[in-house]
Structures are given as structure tokens and as C-alpha cells.
Structure 1
């Protein structure tokens, strides 16, 4: 396979990356280089190119004027010449997009072999990619990185409407979209195109820090710049631009005498002499630091090799890494800090929430509250037991973010998009529909999952229609299936049965509009939210709120109270408690049972022809309605169903219990070898 990445903004060159060299030289550069390097290491990859823009600016380095730069055996950087020889910011680059697009098409026409996949980073690159697909038929992957929909400063800036339009075209036109965070995948991208979720995959990226032994240079800088260099220190690493909120961190530090007594503050903020906005903000930080002499270190510049030294030294001295950004699209620095066992305090807005949930190595804060920032930092600096727990989590779990895994999953998507479609042949209709919950039902036992995967791969030959029925959103369902190497079926019932998604011939999934219209007939979400606003309820995050699903946290008893309040108000809805802590409110007709009945009816079948397997309260209606049902041995106590003909209670847990139930009904061989028994 031959993959070409397209990234036009910033300074892309052979590592190490000079972060902050310009305002557009940030985390996405590390993403592109890390992704391309990992893909080039795959055995099935013949070539990986990174296409960027050619410019000549001695202050930024000579590499950017070199048309072709080989940086690995199968990896090179190609630079495309546009009308202007100067470096251009992302905003100034807009005027050159038509000329760059024409130049790109000319370049492709001259290549002896054209790329199999174009992976476009940001919407400006997607303009080139979509033009190339129209001319040459090359599939397009798109990674947004940072969307304007959440940037309040953008909304009033000149050119914002044009940027939003480009992002909308990129999302609508891409064959597949690769996202990094749940907020991006489930809230931001659907804000442009609600049907785009069927083309979205959330895949954790990795990190690629330069090798660096010890921390002698960093320690020397602390000795030279601080009065008490042995104290723990707060470490921040970010470009000095307003959205990174470094001045907010400085205000938080200066406002807390206790924090100033307990810790120093070190900010690595790009390079001295950079662009006007960066120079102005660095000047502001330097003036503010004057209020705490000997307590704040603000180096005028730093190289890439110094960054891991500061991470290592901060961890050794019991410090904390801080990301106070107003909104962080992802947050690679939080994973870098985790690699060294360094706990973090991070913004609650954007990707860091997912990283903290995955690694469990820090605290989320409101970045607009200096008091909240200071309180969280002081808590970790003073509480050694908590610091040690978070540090262990960081060291144990940071490998969940890995470029090798990212490369393999993206290549799987690329193979789907480039696969030659077989001629359509009439297929016999299935005799049965088999619906499986994911979490706790299929997942949980690594030894029995492969047996289920083998069984599922043969289901079409047996005229069995396998579907997934999950409480998760579609992107999260896909991610969990990939994490457990489970096959992705042609139909996924998502978001507790409030959505049905079906595959097309290119591997994307499209929402079932007929089902949406059917369940939405008496759905009154605004009235329901108005009622809930008057009740003491706890809301799940914004990305968990869907068009046909309102999600809260709470107990089964609290779900009963909400159900009664809705009944008293005459608002038809289904209230579903699950896993002891979630409450979902759906249209009356929705739910896993309703979705399963709808899917069966589409195939000329009834619920009597369905088999279902589950483990929690949100599976109850499906298990009660299906002709045959399997309750796995690890089921939650909340799943209270009376015994009946066709209901099987498995002794084994997770996928082993599913296979046990399938064997009981004569649908599988009974041998999930050495599976984990139910406790």
C-alpha cells in the first residue's frame, strides 16, 4: 500500500520537531510524523509520503526549501511549490489553496504510481484531497485535529465562515474520518453533519519523544533560574498563544501563596523571537513572573531533547504537569507526561477528558478558574499518596496510546476503502437475527473472544444475521470491537437502541432513517429536558447526549423517580437504568427490543426468530422480547427476568457464556476452551 499524508500548515521537517517555531507548528506536526513513521514500518506498506508546502525562510531552517526529503527507508517529505515563496500562516494560506490544488493534481499526474490513500490533515489539506479523488478516484481519509465549531475567538474573526464551510465540505466528503477524542468524534464532527458518525473511527494516537538520558541540562536550568530548585515544580509545555491559557496558569500560581510556597513554576513556551502573538504573550508571561522572583522559570527557547528531561525531573521531584488550555483538541503532552510517571492537571474541555479516563493519572479542571487550577495543583503536590497512585497509573497505562496500533487500525480502514467490490449476487435471506451486547457480554474474557469471533465470521454462511446491540455510541462501539479484535457486523444498534446503523459497500455505516422516523413520532426531547432541569439530576457529558437519547447518571431508584415524573407530566418516554450508575431516556418505541424488532421485520422475520445475549438493565427489554435469550454468568443484579421457555442462564461469563448459550440452542459448538467462569 502507498499512503500519502497531506499537511500544509506549520513547519514539517525531519525530527526533532521545533515546537513553537511558528504558531502553526504544534501537536499536529507530531501526529503526522508519528503516524507516517509507524505506517512506514508496516510490512504491507510500500511507501509513505508526507506532502506539505515548500517555502524559503532562513529563520525557519533550510529544509523547507527542499522539494524531496528522505527521512526513512520508505518515508519521505514532498514539498509542493505555490505562488508565494514565503512561509504563510494557516489564515494566509487560504488564498493559495486553488493554486496548490492545481499543483497537486499536476504532481499526481506525473507520479509513476499514484497513492492508494490520501490522508488529509485539517480542512485546507482536504480541499486538495477531495480534488484528487474527483480526478483520480483516490479515497480520502480526513483528520480534523482542531475544528472551528468550538473556537469562540474564531466565530468573530474574519474568514471564520469560510473555514467552517471548508470543514463542513471535508467532513461531508471524506470517505473516512479519523478522530482522537470522544468529544471530537461524537459532538464536534456531528455538529457539521449528523450522519457522519458512520464514517468516523476514534483511534488513540501515540507519542514519539526524542531519546534523552538523564536530566542534567534541565536540572542545571533549575539551579541557574530558581531560588529553591529542589522544590516540586509545575510544568507546562505549550505554544504561547491565547487559547493555550498560559497566562491563566500564571495567574493561578500567583494567586495562591500556599502553592508558591510548595512548588516552583516552569513554562516551556516556544521559541524566543517567534511570531508577533507569541512574542507578545511571552512578554506578558515574563512581566507576570516578576511578581514571584526566583519562583518562575521561563526559558527563552528550548530544543526537543530538553522536553523529556523536564518531564523526568518533574516526576523525580514530585511535580505536576499542567495543561490549562481553554479547549484542547487532544492533548499529546498529557500522554508524554504519563510516560515518565508524572501526574497531570488538565482542562476539562476537549480531548484531555478521554486521556484522563483512559490512563487515570490526573485531575480535570475548569481552565477559566484560577482558583480551581491552583487547588488541583496544590492537592497533588501536597498529597503524596494520591501523587503516587496517579504516577503508578501513568506508568502502567500510557502504552494504551501507541502509534503501531494506530497504524494497523488505520490500514485496516484503508484496505476497506481500496478493496475491489465484488459483483452483487442475490443472497438468501437469513433465517434468524442474533443480537449481542458488547460490554461485559462479549468483552471481559480474552480467552473466549477469539472463539466467538470465529463463530461470528461463519454466521452468514449459516444464514444467521449477526448484529451488535450496545449502549455505546457508534464510534465507541467500533473502538471497543477493535480493541477486542471482534468483527464489525453489517448492522450496529447503538446508543441503547435509539439508532440503527447499516454498512454500505465501502465499509461506512449509514443511519436508518425509517427507524429514526418511527421512534421519533412522539419524542419531545426539549420538554423532557425542561422537566429534568427542575429535578436534582446529574448529566452525562455532552458527547453522550444524542438526538434520540438523553443520558444521566444515577441509581435505579432515581430512574424510577424520573419515570414517575415523566408519567405525571404526560411525556411519553422509556427510562432505562443500567450498570448501577447510568440512566438513559429514549423515545417510547426505542430501545434494544424495538430496534431488534424493526431490524427483524425488515428481513421478513419476527422477534420469535431472534436470539439475544446481554448482561445489564439496558438489555432487559431485548432479552425479554427475543424468542431465545442468553444471560451471561456475570450479569448485573439489576437484570431481573423471570424464567421462561427460551431463556438460558449461562454458567460461564462474557463471550464464553454467549457461546455456552448458543450451544444450548444448537447454534454453536460448546468449547470456549479455558474460559473465565462467572464469579
Structure 2
């Protein structure tokens, strides 16, 4: 890259959190995390370049007796060409970012005054997070210089996570000012000349939800990795403390290591990995399995999600008798992580990430930097990483046999192992080091600074209506699925109207089964999945389980007692384990032998069990909590997403869908499902019976209701 005639003066803005050059207090609170580390390292890395003359990182000045006096210093030098500049914002006491919104105009004015005091105008401003974006949009409009923005996280996704965690919409507004944040994000996207993201999935799965979505102005530049910490084995790893810890668990500790490292989160899908290993004697013979799933003292003291994962891992290990072949230590230190990668690489092992969803995949980059080949989920960040580094294999995370086979393919071919190991190290240096990061960064800003790429100001206007005030919710089997041609047409419609209409799946399948079917048929991830007949609700983009719904339906639910009562009823046989869930008891029912539904309800009521009994497709009997069903889940989601029932098009095809289709929704029964179970719905005026089958029937209903408000057919 050519050196600029005038060295660059760059301003980075990150108002919230506690930012200083050394000893960052990462994790002190929700505002002092990865972003604070990123902006400091970015400032240092940029300042090392000859094209860059000066970097100022603007943050907030904090004078607080409870905190270090470092945060009160107006200026802190990071290097000869980089410094932290602390600008006053409202009062001096430390405040969480949610309480800064009313002071951001004051901050912008103070920052503008600081800039005018400098001998030269900055060439551009790079803002980090929504609050900085708000300030930067104001400054850049005044100074007529380019604005670069990195969101780090987005308000629309945050709101879904908070809703899933059980907070009411009013509480979210009161605590997090989420509407102001989203509005600031929209304004920033409209003003920004470029938006820097870590993966293509951020563009396609998160930013696409914004009115001012401009994919052509979004640049994928992954954050840098510290290659002074993550590097190839030096030969002494086998003597490390963590190696000695692992050896306690393993009968043959010298075997290659299959290493997995993640939080104990259901979405990380670690149990599927253990099952794949347990079901493959050949893989067990080839390698040991090491699972690093956070730190624990007593599993009973951990949150419900972590308890569920860790209990499942231990039970699966016991089921397949993996003692001596699998290690899952209770504790590890942060400094042990690079040693674990190197230990696995020294053993000629493999790093595996079987997550259901993986937006970035930092552990994959760290493992690659240490010369460890990868097996990773074919989702999100891993696709970019393996494409760039060519150092491993992508797998369907729900296909245990495919996971085992990919691991064996790498472990059994030492030539391929060596090629993957070397390619990974080279790929990280080329694409994921700080040097690579600033190379791409400077190449991106060069046209803006030189004026060869003019500043672009969007002329879009915000839609006056609520964002995504409508939704299409459909079952999967024999409803959305069944005809690939019409399914493709339906998927194209959902992509076309993505900003206007949410898309949801309501299914009797469990989450893993539903995801597997959607992956097979190339159905994009829905905004919401109501799985296991509505007893579980998950929100995109991270498949967050709605814990508030789970707590809500647990009322008066006594699963073991119900199973015991119904074990005495003739004509009922339990469905396989995969069809059961904590809030769904599933049977095959022989109507010629079993009592009718009224009698089954009476038996349960006599034993003081208040439940919801659902019979579908002539043979399936499901017992749910009395507060749970697809219909109840739909109404819960309607409230959570603030979408009126009247604005929901619901497509169903079995008795399990009936209460979802009744009421104020716009509903359709597709042509292939006009059977006795739903015949009574023909008497309900608002329910449309389509002539066409499968997804074509849903498209027919979209036309019938003019659901997109075009006054034309869906195909128009």
C-alpha cells in the first residue's frame, strides 16, 4: 500500500466502559468486555503503520472514588503515535452505558471542541457501538469527513435476548433504553460510509433487519488475534500443569486429543459430540476426548442451562462407558487455554466446534494459530475461517456420524493433518492477525480518505409503522415441506419481505430435529421456533431459549406422576426418547384399544393432574402442561415480539395446530391436510382452506389475504 503524502490522523470513539492502556478490567461489568480491549488494541496496531501519523481513542472521563484514578486522566499515551483522550460527558461519576443517552449530545459538543483545537482535522472517525455511532454521526455531519462504524452488538438482537430472558417489554425500555439504541443504530447506518463486521453472517443475519441496511458498504474485517500468545507447540507442553490434570482422567494420555472448548451452553451442542465419540469404537481407539466446558465447583449451584448441559455430558459419558477415554476437568485458568491448543497439536489431535450456531468462532482462530486442524459447524464464522485458512472440515452439527467421520479422516491421514496444521498457521497470519486486520482496514479507508470514493448519504426514510408488525408462522411436516418447488418460492418470498414480516416455525419436533430438517431443505433460520408442540420457544439469531416461557408453563406440571398414571392405560406406548422432552410426554395411541380422549382426560383429572391432551394424525398422543400448546406459545410470542394476532398468518395441518389457528389470527389449512382432524375449522369464517398443497397452499393464502398489502398476488 502506498504511503500517504499526509500521514493519517484517525479518531476512534468508544464512550462507555472503563478504558485504559494497561491492566484492562475485563469483566468488571457488562460494559467492560471485549469491545474495550478491541479498541485499545486497534489504536495501537494502527499507530504502528507508517501511513498513520496519529490515532486518538476518545472515551469518557470518569472521576469516581470507587475506581482507579487512571480513568480521570485527560490524556494517556499508548505509544508515540497513539493516545487515549478522555472527554467529559454529563457528570463525572461512572455510569452504565444505558444511562448515558441524555448526555451524548453534550459529549458530542465537547468532542467537537476538542477536534477544533487540534492542528489538523481527522481524516475519518471510527465509532464503536451505538452510543459512539450517535456521537460520530453528529460529528461527521458537522465536519464533512467519513464515518466508519463497528456495532459490536445490535439492539434488535439484544431486545430478543432480553425478552427470552423473561424481561417484559416495558422493563427493557426502562432499563436499557432499547428503542433509543435502535434509533441511534439506524441513524449511524444511514450516515456511515463503511461498516466493519467480523463475519458475513453479521451482514446477512443481523444488519439485514435494519431499515438503513447497505450491504455494499459493509466490510468483513475479522478482529486480530494475539500471535504472541497463540503459536505452535514448543515441545514442553506435555509437562504443563494442564497436561498433568488431563492425565488424571486418561488411561492412555499419549493418544491424540480431540479438543472441544466452549461455555456449557445447550447451543454449543457438546452432547452430540460426546454421543458421536461414544458410538464410534474406532474413534475411541484413535484418540482421547477432552471437553473444556467452563469452570465449576458444584453443578447444582450453576444456572439451569449449564446444569442441563453438564448433567447431560456426564450421563452420556456414563452411558457409553467413556471413563479413561474422556476428560472433563472442573477447572482451568485463562493461561491454560493456549497450552491446551498446543498440547492437542503436539499430540497430532483435532479441535472440534459442533455448535448449532457460531457467529464468529474465536476459538477456531486460536486453535489454528497453534497449528491444530479443525472440524467445525457449517454455520456462520467457521465457514469464513475454513475458507480462508483451508485447515479443516465443516460438518452438519446435528449429524453425529458425520462428526465422527470427519475427525477420523483427519486423525488417520498424517499428510492431511500436517497440511491442515501448516495452512491454519499461515491463514491466521494472513487473515486474522492484527497486522492482517490493519492491512485490510487501511485498504478499506484509502478511497474514502483520498476522495476517490465519495461520501454517500442515504435518502431512505424510516417506515412509520412498527418494525416487522406482521408474521407468518407455519408447521414443518406435511405443511411447509412436501414440494421443493413451492418451498423455494416461499423461501424467496420470505427473503423479499424480510424487513416487513417475521417468519416462525411451530413444530412437534425438538429443536435439533427441526434444525436438521431446515438445513436439509435449505430453509433459512426463522426469527422464532416453537418446538416440541410449543413447549419451547427459541429466538434468532442465537437460538435463545425463552426462559420466561419455560417458567410459565412449569406451573402444576408433574411429569413423573403423569407417566406413572398413563402406564396403566391400555393402547398407549411411549414414543422413542428423542420424541420426549421435559414438558412433553409423547405416546403412540391405538384408537381401537385405548380409551377416548375424554376418558384419558378424566383419568388424569381424577389424579389431580391438570394437563393439555393433544391427539393428532390418528396415532399421536401428547401430554403437555395445561399452559402449553402451539396456540398458547403463539400468543406468548405475539406479545413478546409486539405483533398483533390479527397480523399473523398461521398455516397448520394437524390437530396439534387447531388452537393456533382459531381466534384472531389469519389462518390457512393447506390442500393436502383437509382431513377429519381439522374439519370443524371449516365452520370458522376466518380460516381459509387452500386448494394447493404444502408451501404452495401457504402462498395461495398470502394472496387470499393480500398479506403483504400489495394488492397483488404473492408472485407479483
TM-score, with length taken from structure 2: 0.50
In structure 1, the partner of 2:189 is: 171
| Whole-Å separation in 1 of the counterparts to 2:311 and 2:60 | 36
Structure 1, residues 255-295: CA drift from partner, whole Å, max 9, x if none? Answer: 642466732324274x889xxx9977666666556555773
In structure 2, the partner of 1:411 is: 442
Look up the SS of the partner of 2:152 in the other structure. Answer: coil
Q: Does 1:393 align with 2:423?
A: yes
Name the CA shift for 1:313/1:256 in 2 (closer, same or farther; >3 Å).
closer
| Whole-Å separation in 2 of the counterparts to 1:57 and 1:375 | 57
Name the CA shift for 1:398/1:410 in 2 (closer, same or farther; >3 Å).
closer
Contact 1:123/1:166 (<8 A) preserved: yes
Look up the SS of the partner of 1:156 in the other structure. Answer: helix
Structure 1, residues 353-385: CA drift from partner, whole Å, max 9, x if none? Answer: 112112121233445667765664465445545
Shift of 1:41: 1.0
Correspondent of 2:257 among 226, 233, 250: 233
Correspondent of 1:222 among 243, 259, 262: 243
| Whole-Å separation in 2 of the counterparts to 1:532 and 1:418 | 52
Q: Does 1:210 align with 2:210?
A: no
In structure 2, the partner of 1:141 is: 148
| Whole-Å separation in 1 of the counterparts to 2:368 and 2:22 | 21
| Whole-Å separation in 2 of the counterparts to 1:336 and 1:120 | 26
Name the CA shift for 1:11/1:272 in 2 (closer, same or farther; >3 Å).
farther
In structure 1, the partner of 2:106 is: 102
In structure 2, the partner of 1:359 is: 389
In structure 2, the partner of 1:506 is: 455
Name the CA shift for 1:55/1:337 in 2 (closer, same or farther; >3 Å).
farther
Structure 1, residues 96-126: CA drift from partner, whole Å, max 9, x if none? Answer: 2332452353144135326432211222321
Q: How does 1:268-283 map to 2 (within 5 A)?
A: 269=294
Contact 1:217/1:309 (<8 A) preserved: no
Name the CA shift for 1:531/1:176 in 2 (closer, same or farther; >3 Å).
farther
In structure 2, the partner of 1:315 is: 345
Q: Does 1:338 align with 2:360?
A: no
Look up the SS of the partner of 1:341 in the other structure. Answer: coil
Structure 1, residues 160-219: CA drift from partner, whole Å, max 9, x if none? Answer: 655544433322221222233333345643442476134233345432233478454983
| Whole-Å separation in 2 of the counterparts to 1:237 and 1:66 | 39
Q: How does 1:107-122 map to 2 (within 5 A)?
A: 107-111=111-115, 112-113=117-118, 115-122=122-129
Correspondent of 1:533 among 476, 484, 503: 484
| Whole-Å separation in 2 of the counterparts to 1:279 and 1:210 | 35
Contact 2:238/2:343 (<8 A) preserved: no
Contact 1:318/1:381 (<8 A) preserved: yes
Name the CA shift for 1:242/1:121 in 2 (closer, same or farther; >3 Å).
farther
Contact 2:191/2:457 (<8 A) preserved: no
| Whole-Å separation in 2 of the counterparts to 1:233 and 1:542 | 46
Name the CA shift for 1:147/1:414 in 2 (closer, same or farther; >3 Å).
same
Name the CA shift for 1:375/1:70 in 2 (closer, same or farther; >3 Å).
farther
TM-score, with length taken from structure 1: 0.52
Structure 1, residues 613-659: CA drift from partner, whole Å, max 9, x if none? Answer: xxxxxxxxxxxxxxxxxxxxxxxxxxxxxxxxxxxxxxxxxxxxxxx
Contact 1:50/1:77 (<8 A) preserved: yes
Name the CA shift for 1:343/1:405 in 2 (closer, same or farther; >3 Å).
closer
Contact 1:19/1:25 (<8 A) preserved: yes
Contact 2:127/2:150 (<8 A) preserved: yes
Shift of 1:241: 7.9
| Whole-Å separation in 1 of the counterparts to 2:259 and 2:87 | 37
Name the CA shift for 1:410/1:300 in 2 (closer, same or farther; >3 Å).
same
Structure 1, residues 207-264: CA drift from partner, whole Å, max 9, x if none? Answer: 22334784549832131244224343344455x4858x34x22553266424667323
Look up the SS of the partner of 1:46 in the other structure. Answer: strand
Q: Please identify, of 314-323 and 384-393, the stretch whose mean Cα deviation from structure 2 is larger.
A: 384-393
Name the CA shift for 1:65/1:3 in 2 (closer, same or farther; >3 Å).
same
In structure 2, the partner of 1:46 is: 53
Contact 2:107/2:135 (<8 A) preserved: no
Contact 1:268/1:301 (<8 A) preserved: no
Contact 1:34/1:207 (<8 A) preserved: no
Shift of 1:152: 9.1
In structure 2, the partner of 1:486 is: none
Shift of 1:313: 1.6
Name the CA shift for 1:300/1:290 in 2 (closer, same or farther; >3 Å).
same
Correspondent of 2:77 among 43, 67, 70: 70
Q: Please identify, of 203-212 and 530-539, the stretch whose mean Cα deviation from structure 2 is larger.
A: 530-539
Contact 1:218/1:309 (<8 A) preserved: no
Shift of 1:148: 5.5
Name the CA shift for 1:509/1:339 in 2 (closer, same or farther; >3 Å).
farther
In structure 2, the partner of 1:267 is: 292
Q: Which runs of 5+ in 2 are unaligned?
A: 1-7, 173-177, 318-322, 461-479, 499-716
Name the CA shift for 1:194/1:162 in 2 (closer, same or farther; >3 Å).
closer
Name the CA shift for 1:388/1:40 in 2 (closer, same or farther; >3 Å).
same
Name the CA shift for 1:44/1:396 in 2 (closer, same or farther; >3 Å).
closer
Name the CA shift for 1:206/1:316 in 2 (closer, same or farther; >3 Å).
same
